[in-house]
Amino acid sequence: MDWLFKTDYFIPDDYQKTVYDIDYAKLRDQGVKLLLIDLDNTLISYDETEPSDKIFKLFDDLRKLGFKSMIISNNHKKRVSHFASALEVPFLASAKKPLKLGFKKVQAMNPDIEKHEICVIGDQFMTDVLGAKRMRYRVIVVNAIKRKAEKWFTRINRKLEKRVLLRMKKRNHSIYQQLNLDEKR
């Protein structure tokens, strides 16, 4: 559990308000080929089930830019597969982020992709950021779409996230400021 105390495991490479604010062309130019995108509160809130037109367009644009995309979620298969199959993107449900197991499965599914070509996108420090950094992937954190419908274990993660952010503000102040993390919701 020593990773819980490693500050650098919680420092994302970028922070943007939403998935639509990310500069994907820049990411591609930096060599990223595979995007591992979280579902809940990153793409849709817990009380939604369907991808919106905006999400369809986003995934279309990502395809056109040459990315492979995958939905990687800790939620159950029924919810994740319903959403991912509508978009026609591969997925991994019950991914158990921040554990390495799910990410290792994803890498086995994409043997042509190397670690430095992978970028995780998600809304939680305790699952998405920590999981990605333990794997030495790039990670972009976004605001949670709607915090109200979060379950008890996510609420615990949010409490931990708050502490992680406070610690980063103290110990890694320049990165914290540079990434604008005061705005993270």
Which residues of this chain interact with Mg ion, rule CB under 5 A?
Answer: 38, 40-42, 123
The sign of the CA dihedral 133, 185, 79, 154 is positive
Residues 72/76/82/87 CA torsion (nearest 10 deg): -10
Structure tokens at 176: 């914290």
- Could you give the count of Cα atoms lying within 13 Å of 3 in the half-sphere of its Cβ? 17
Contact 70, 37 (CB under 8 A): yes
The sign of the CA dihedral 20, 104, 47, 41 is negative
